[in-house]
Amino acid sequence: MFLTFTAIDKFGQIRNFSWWFDSLEFALDVMSSLSARGKRLIKAEILDNGHSMPLPVDGFDGKPFSTPIKQLEKEWQQLLKTPVNQRSTAAEHNEVPVVDVDIPSFGELAWEMTTVKFED
C-alpha cells in the first residue's frame, strides 16, 4: 500500500511525500499523528493494487485510527464465530451486548469530498 500526501511545512512551503505501508491502520495513524503535531495536510491518497482512493484530510484530527478499527475487527470476528441461530435468538431477547466504539468523526466537508461510484 502506497500513501502519498501533500502538506505545508513549518516554513509555509508545500511539500509532497510518499511512503510504503503494510497496513491501512498504520498509514492512517501516521496521517493523524502529523495532524496532531500541527502539520497542515492538503491532500492525501492511498494507492493499492492499481487502485487509488483519496482520503478526506479533514478526518485526521490527531486521534488514532488503529484502536477503533481493531476493536471493530475483534467484534465482527466474534460475531462470525457465533452460529447464526444463536445470534438471532440473542437479538430477539435483547441479549446482544451494546458496545461503545469511539470512531474518529469526519466533518461535513470531509464527507462532501468523498465520492462513491456504483458500477452496473
49 secondary structure, DSSP code: T
Residues 36-75: pLDDT tens digits? 888 889 999 999 889 999 999 998 888 888 888 899 989 9
Look up the pTM and report it: 0.59
Distance in angstroms (rounded) separating the CA atoms of residues 2 and 52: 9
pLDDT (mean) for 1-19: 89
Residues 78-113: pLDDT tens digits? 888 877 776 555 555 565 555 555 544 444 444 444
- Residue 19 reports pLDDT greater than 80: yes
Given 3-state DSSP classes, what are the helix, strand and coil percentages for the chain, each rounded to the nearest 5? 40, 25, 40
Distance in angstroms (rounded) separating the CA atoms of residues 108 and 103: 15
95 secondary structure, DSSP code: -
- Say which residues have a Cβ less than 8 Å from residue 12's Cβ, sequence separation at least 6: none
Alpha carbon dihedral 56, 2, 66, 64, in 10-degree steps, equals -50
Q: Cell for 37?
A: 503535531
Residue pair 66/29 in contact (Cβ under 8 Å)? The answer is yes
